[in-house]
Amino acid sequence: MCSKSTITGTSKKVLFAASECVPFIKTGGLADVCGALPKWFRKDDWDVRVVIPNYTCIPDHFRNEFQYVTHFYMHMGPALPDKYVGVLEYEHEGIHYYFIDNMEYFDSPTPYGNIRFDVEKFCFFSKAVLSMLPQIGFQPDLIHCHDWETGLIPVYLKNEFQGDMFFWGMKTIMTIHNLRFQGVWDIETVQSISGLPEYLFTPDKLEYKKDANMLKGGLVYADYITTVSETYANEIQMPYYGEGLDGLLNARRLDMQGIVNGIDYSIYDPMTDPQVHYHYDVHNFRRQKPLNKERLQKELGLTVDKKKFMIALVSRLTDQKGLDLVNHVIEGISDEFTQFVVVGTGESRYEDAFRYFAGKHPDRISANICYNDELVHRLLAASDAFLVPSQFEPCGLTQMMACRYGSLPIVRETGGLRDTVHPYNEYENSGNGFSFTNYNAHEMLGIINYAKQVYFEKKRDWNRIVERAMSIDFSWKVSANRYEGLYRYLLGMTD
């Protein structure tokens, strides 16, 4: 393996820069995107590589295989001494990965922690990504930046690094995975650690409510902006969803689009999934899914009865995910004909509430306050419906996974949920799930009850909805084609 080699011919070079990436480190959907999307580009046309921090919490069986490339010292701001930057590399499933090494910043049990320290370490990471490129001989045509942790890459590129011909003509894309997280701290501190000049900290650049905003910097200086669904791209131009940046995003609307994420079909396939006890596909789910339900009911201590309507909820237990709606009507959801299975961790008030209701109705409610990937796969295969009542949801992946496993999504119409779940229309015999519009607990309960009615009284119609849901292509192929078109547009490729 040689870090300085590049693909010959006319292939274009793309570097994904992110704070996390499957299979090395994951806290959310960002990691899934950065791990799956690069694999879908044609190797003859695209040389797509990925760079992330070298966290010590990356599993040892990966870290022990990383190869040293080089190291150097990098100047930061006046408040910091010059910093060590190590560069490691590793090839996995045909993709070349780089890891920025600095024990001061990345020696930790989790990738994120105190926001003040996170701001400093991702200022360092953003500058280190650009600084390493001449050192390793990789000159990307385009750098694809993900979320606020990489927001300063376009800022550095268009300012400090423009004095070096190596960087001339490089394009950047800034992808918003969740606008709520922006990397905000006071201007004096960010300027002193980043080394960026004072004139960049103005309201038309990095300043945000008298503070510095790293994501805003990326949104101002990137050549193009994407987010993870078309609906979310429109929503964030409005004050309710815009998190204070709606004016900027509206001004850049002609250089912005939403591209829905995909899911990895090699992992989420009920016909081959090793976590599923009884494999099935769109042709035999009527017989096999109930067997998975009975197996999971027994495992979780629920009443074993394949005729029960099983609803799944897999989520971070936070306000964003609509858990206040669920708590308000959980007794109505979990009637004598229904079982409700929760998997997730988060705010203690929601964890405690689900534990309480599971203790009160142990035959109907199962609260699994953890994240257990094996259990999630078994729940996808066993459940009849999958509840996602989010207050806002940039994209969401679980509703797509649910469709793949024939667990019909019941969602609020927002962000990627609206783009991927089309409500059942009994008159047109269309749709792949159920949805409600307003952020209202009783409206949500009404749709859940409607789904139950279809399940119990119109089983043939229900099975047709399942067939449609399982037949939709939510693989990365569709998304990768759109990203490839965007890359070609930005790089002036007309063929």
Where exactly are the structural domains of the chain?
12-262+476-490, 285-471
Q: What CATH class has 12-262+476-490? A: alpha beta
Whether the bond into 23 is cis, omega within 30 of 0: yes
Phi (first) and psi of residue 336, to 5 degrees: -65, -15
H helix runs in 361-440, sequence order: 373-382, 398-404, 415-420
Per-residue pLDDT at 399: 97
Per-residue pLDDT of 425-436, as tens digits, reads 999 999 999 999
Phi (first) and psi of residue 91, to 5 degrees: -110, 130
41 close to 31: Cβ distance less than 8 angstroms? no
Per-residue pLDDT at 266: 87
**Whole-model pTM?**
0.91
Q: Is 212 helix (H, G, I), strand (E, B) or coil?
A: strand
Q: 196: which 2 tokens?
A: 């960026």
Phi (first) and psi of residue 487, to 5 degrees: -60, -45
Per-residue pLDDT at 495: 60
Q: What kind of fold does domain 285-471 have according to CATH?
A: Rossmann fold (3.40.50)
Buried b (16+ CB within 10 A) or exposed e, 210-237: ebbbbbbbbbbbbbbbbbbbbbbbbbbb
Per-residue pLDDT at 29: 83
**CA angle, 22 as apex, 21 and 28 as ends, to 5°?**
75
Q: At a CB cut-off of 8 Å and minimum separation 6, what does 57 contact?
A: 25, 108, 109, 110, 111
Per-residue pLDDT at 158: 98
Per-residue pLDDT at 109: 92
Q: 245: which 2 tokens?
A: 């940046």
Torsion angle of alpha carbons 264, 266, 268, 274, nearest 10°? Answer: -150
380 close to 402: Cβ distance less than 8 angstroms? yes
Buried b (16+ CB within 10 A) or exposed e, 12-29: bbbbbbbbbbbebbeeeb
Phi (first) and psi of residue 119, to 5 degrees: -60, -45
Q: 131: which 2 tokens?
A: 């600084």
Per-residue pLDDT at 484: 96
Q: At a CB cut-off of 8 Å and minimum separation 6, what does 425 contact?
A: 431
Which residue, among 414, 406, 366, 421, has the nearest Cα to 390 in the 3D structure?
414
Residues of the chain with pLDDT under 70: 1-9, 495
Are domains 12-262+476-490 and 285-471 of this chain identical in fold? yes
Per-residue pLDDT at 8: 40
DSSP 32-86: HHHHHGGGGS-TTTEEEEEEEE--TTS-HHHHTT-EEEEEEEE---TTS--EEEE
**DSSP code at position 267:** T
Q: 68: which 2 tokens?
A: 């040293």
